[in-house]
Structure 1
Amino acid sequence: MNRRRMLLLALPPALLLWLGDLVSNGPDGSRLPLLSGPLALGALLACHRVAVETLTAAAALASGALTLGMLRFAPAGGSWGVLESAALLALLAVAARTARVPAAYVLCPLLAVAIAAAPVRMGFPSDAQTFAFLLTVAAGGALALGCYLRSLDRRRAGAVSAVQEAERLALARDLHDFVAHHVTGIVVQAQAARTIRETAPEQLDPLLAGIERAGTETLASMRRLVHVLRAAPDAPTRPADLLTELAALVAAHGDGGGAAATLDVSADARALALAPEVETSAHRVVQESLTNVRRHAPGADEVRVRLTARGSRLRVEVGNGPAPAGERPPPGGSGGLGLVGLRERVEALGGRFDAGPAPDGGWRVRAEFPPAHLPH
């Protein structure tokens, strides 16, 4: 939800609370709570621009100072500032969720005390005690909500980190196998060159050219391997032929009970000579995307897989039409992290990844890989 929509949703209840403060404020009561409410709401809405620690500290000190000042100098009676308390409760939940831990231990209790103490501005001990108790309970609920959301954020961040690390390791295994393949070719050609250097020296140039080409390919793969780690020795293999494997994936999607899928490969894409890690990653993007279609929108029609070329860059797009109305949610929920892994894999190769709703109500996944093509 964007900030403009949040502002539009917050304004009507804020206006009602402020009107409540205005109506309940006696003719001899202080007008300061009528000003503090909008200021507290402004502080809440400024969380995306100003550090939440700064806003929390300023709000707690300002509210506490207003309470002490009204007890000492302002006339009793009227509202203590319901809009102010509501905005500060929301700010307390935001601070409990997002404030840095050392500061949160001090600022959140300080703000909670300021919120609970606000009703003493009314000057009526019995009413002040009742509202102070209610605000204390509300402050505890805001703290609990913020801490719960913080734990969910931490769990989500840990899951995303685990998926990213797993994808890096899978890419490292692929690259290790590719580098080993290139180095083996270099060794074999070097041995052949030594064998024929005396008997057929005219054949050395093609062998040396092959060694140079294999060395170039190895260096290109090694540049990507520098940033990832080698994991377990059991590694997935490179698809024998990308287009053949993609055709099999598309055919299997229709055979699995879902809508028939189509594969469209442009002539420019067929002409590209791709690095092995790009082939494997393109295969992974299509495989994961078709799995998501089968899982999240099994009744969707028009499942399309397209491979095109933009210069020397390979572009992979997988899209599907909208799912039929009333379709049951996928088993296990819809909060998977497959797209996180795809993004990590594509961006690790220097490419771009995008996934989101399509204009027709379906879903679309796009990946564009860098021009890491092999020399011919």
Structure 2
Amino acid sequence: MEDPVSLPRFVRAAARWTLLLFLGLLWLFDINGSPLYGTTPVLTGALFAAVVLIPGRLPLRWRAGIVGAASWAVTFAVVPGDSWARFSTWGMLETAVLLWVLMLTVRRVQPPQLAMAEGALLSTAVIVMPLRIIAGTEALTFSFLLTFVVAAAIGLALYLRVLDARRIRAVDAVRQSERLELARDLHDFVAHHVTGIVVQAQAARTVGATSPQEVEPLLASIEQAGAEALASMRRLVQVLREDERTVARPAEGFTELTALTTEFSRTGPYVSLRVAEAARGARLAPEVTTSAHRVVQEALTNVRRHAPSAASVLVRIGLVAGCLEVTVCNDAPAHGGHRGAPTGGHGGFGLVGLRERVEAVGGNLRAGPLPQGGWEVAARLPVLSMTGS
């Protein structure tokens, strides 16, 4: 699933093309200087860039090891002053690719020990490059200057790695909170059904002695209650697994939504609630009902936090393609690039937890800007059956 707090797709695409353009310009610089500085950087830079950029299943740790070892091999194969000297200059593209791979490796490669080892390989490969064409103290001077460049790249990568780790912990905390809440809710729901089963079983024993013909309906009710309890328990087991998606909490129909929207309208923009009659007649699992309630609650919270200029909010609940559709949209103006979107922080992680809830009960969630301005959050949730069906 898409991460609600990740960069938009067009931003990632723009960054990717900017990087490719920058590397292409460096390669043209190497080609232009090849009559004077040698042809090696034209080849090594292009080959290293291809190893890193060409899509494939080769993990980053392997790509980093390949370019680092290859760069070291080129450096060791060259002795300044011999017949290879005119082919052995290091180039701008090769240096940029190695620094870029160094940053990616330090930031992303797991475990940290492997990231440190490959980071050392790539760092030293960059630092010793001047030895390919320069001898004596001049080579040491260039290597010393490159050390600062390498240190800056490593420092930035470590900072980004720390930010990534913090964000992962925050998302995990949200998911764990959802798991615990769902466990409590399903415990209450299953306890309710089990209590009903016990009461009906006792009634069946009492009625059976005098009116055997009335036992059958009681047994049918016991069977239905048991099946619903088992279904909820299966959802609970799935949610509590460490790697499974999570969700939910039972509510009583859509009655709580009226109170929720009314309370929100007192301190924020006016909220219009529209519940289709078909939706009122749908039979929903308790956790699905609560997921619908939480979609509305989280969306209204995001309006308060991120769209204070919104004049009104529309909440619609209806049936679409056999699913319960819950839609919340605001009319915040789109000027200044702001459309009432959650830009991170608590709002972003709130959408993470909300998506976990919705997907755990078999639904899906989408959130995004509206063409005319404003922001929309919409969820589709499964329906057990229609009343009377």
TM-score by length of 1: 0.87
| Aligned 8 A contact 1:217 1:374 in 2 | no
Find out whether 1:261 has 2:284 as its counterpart. no
CA shift digits 1:148-196 (9 cap, x unpaired): 2222212211211111111011111111111111111122222222223
Q: Which amino acid in 2 is paired with 1:62?
A: A
Deviations 1:233-256 (A, max 9, x none): xxx9843x3322112222222211
Q: Does 1:164 align with 2:172?
A: no
Counterparts of 1:82-231 in structure 2, within 5 Å, are 82-101=92-111, 102-123=113-134, 125-228=136-239
Q: Any idea what SS the aligned residue of 2:238 has?
A: coil
What does 1:1-376 align with in structure 2 at a 5 Å threshold?
Answer: 1=9, 4-25=13-34, 27=36, 29-46=37-54, 49-71=57-79, 73-76=83-86, 79-101=89-111, 102-123=113-134, 125-228=136-239, 238-239=250-251, 241-256=252-267, 258-323=268-333, 325=335, 334-336=344-346, 337-373=349-385
Gap change, CA 1:301 and 1:45, over 3 Å in 2: farther
What are structure 2's unaligned runs of at least 5 residues?
A: 1-8, 242-247
Deviates more, 1:275-284 or 1:193-202: 193-202
Aligned counterparts of 1:175 and 1:372: Cα–Cα separation in 2: 17
Does the C-alpha gap of structure 1 residues 44 and 228 become closer, same or farther in structure 2, counting only changes over 3 Å? Answer: closer
Which SS does the other structure have where 1:369 is aligned?
Answer: strand
Letter of the 1:271 counterpart: G
Q: Distance in 2 between matches of 1:58 and 1:180?
A: 59
Please report how far the alpha carbon of residue 118 of structure 1 lies from its aligned counterpart in structure 2 after TM superposition: 0.9
What secondary structure is seen at the aligned counterpart in 2 of 1:226? helix
Instruction: Tell me the secondary structure at the aligned position of residue 298 of structure 1.
Output: coil
**Distance in 2 (alpha carbons) for counterparts of 1:104 and 1:219:** 46
Q: Give the whole-Å Cα distance in 1 for the aligned partners of 2:237 and 2:17.
A: 49
| Greater alpha carbon shift after TM alignment, 245-254 vs 44-53 | 44-53
Quickly say closer, same or farther: Cα 1:223–1:321, change in 2 above 3 A.
same
1:168/1:228 contact within 8 Å kept: yes
TM-score (norm 2): 0.84
2:3 — aligned with what?
none
Structure 1 residues 4, 329: closer, same or farther in 2, change over 3 A? closer
Distance, in Å, in 1 between the alignment partners of 2:49 and 2:373 is: 36
Q: Structure 1: which 5+ residue stretches go unaligned?
A: 231-235
Of 345-354 and 124-133, deviating more is: 124-133
CA distance in 2, matches of 1:209, 1:68: 82
CA distance in 2, matches of 1:372, 1:144: 54
Letter in structure 2 aligned against 1:198: A
Q: 1:247 to 1:224 in 2, by over 3 A?
A: same
Query: In structure 2, do the counterparts of structure 1 residues 375 and 192 end up closer, same or farther at CA, with 3 Å as the change threshold?
Result: farther
CA distance in 2, matches of 1:78, 1:127: 16
- 1:210/1:229 Cα in 2 relative to 1: closer, same or farther (>3 Å)? same
Q: Is the 8 A contact 2:282 2:383 kept in 1?
A: no
Higher alpha-carbon deviation: 174-183 or 17-26: 17-26
Which stretch of the first structure deviates more once superposed, 47-56 or 276-285?
47-56
- Report the Cα distance in structure 2 between the residues aligned to 1:42 and 1:164, rounded to whole angstroms: 39
Measured in 1, the distance between the counterparts of 2:21 and 2:286 equals 57
Write the deviation string for residues 128-164 of structure 1: whole angstroms up to 9, x where unpaired.
3332112111112222222222222122112111111
Deviation at 1:229, TM superposition (A): 5.1
Cα deviation per residue 1:96-135 (whole Å; 9 max; x = unaligned)?
Answer: 1111224223211011111111122232545433321121
Contact 2:249 2:288 (C-alpha < 8 Å) held by counterparts? no
Measured after TM superposition, the shift of residue 22 of structure 1 is 4.3
Instruction: Let me know the Cα RMSD of the aligned residues.
Output: 3.0
In the alignment, the residues of structure 2 paired with residue 363 and residue 116 of structure 1 have an alpha-carbon distance, to the nearest angstrom, of 50
Percent identity over paired residues: 46
Instruction: Give the conservation status (yes or no) of the 8 Å contact 1:272–1:312.
Output: no
Matched residues in 2 for 1:51 and 1:361: separation? 41
Moved more, 288-297 or 363-372: 363-372
Code of the residue aligned with 1:354 in structure 2: it is R
Q: How far apart, CA to CA, are the structure 2 residues paired with 1:25 and 1:238?
A: 71
Q: 1:309 to 1:97 in 2, by over 3 A?
A: same
1:100 counterpart letter in structure 2: Q
Quote how far apart the aligned CAs of 1:73 are: 4.2
Letter in 2 for 1:251: T
Q: Which letter maps to 1:351? A: G
Is the 8 Å Cα contact of residues 313 and 368 (structure 1) preserved in structure 2? Answer: yes
| CA distance in 2 between partners of 1:199 and 1:294 (Å) | 62
Aligned residues: 367
SS at match of 2:317: strand
